[in-house]
Amino acid sequence: MKWWLGTISCVTLFSIIMIFGYEKMFFMFHGVKIEASMVQSVDSPLTIVSGKAEKAIYLSLNGREIFIDKKGNFSESIAVLPGFSVITLSAEDKFGKTAEKKFEMVKEESVPAVALAATSN
């Protein structure tokens, strides 16, 4: 009886430690996540890309680094030329995991931009 009680106690303690460790290390397994949106006003040639990149330490917009606050929020203006454009957001966390989100859009000379698709890898 003592042996069973000791074995069950050890297994239970080991299970609790493993579950606690997994919950604390969960962020390492899932990496960075990007949530972004684009807004363009009718009277301005600039498009504002804003959103949140959780757990990111590096964020770039079309290859150019943009700044994020401690909570992961960002907002950046970009000029979009008439025609087909692809806007790419790339993020990296402190463990080297990356995420990417692409916006494909068509802008005509006389009308505001229309987003066709937003994809993420």
Beta bridge partners of 103: 87, 118
Confidence of residue 112 (pLDDT cuts 50, 70, 90): low
Instruction: Please write the tens of the pLDDT for every residue from 75-106.
Output: 999 888 888 888 999 999 888 888 999 988 88
Contact (CB, 8 A) for 23 and 41? no
Q: What pLDDT score was predicted for residue 114?
A: 57
Separation CA 16–CA 46 (nearest Å) = 53
The class level of CATH for 32-120 reads mainly beta
Residue spans of the domains in the chain: they are: 1-30, 32-120
Q: Which long-range contacts (CB under 8 A, 24 or more apart) does 59-62 make?
A: 59/89, 59/90, 59/91, 59/92, 60/89, 60/90, 60/91, 61/87, 61/88, 61/89, 62/87, 62/88
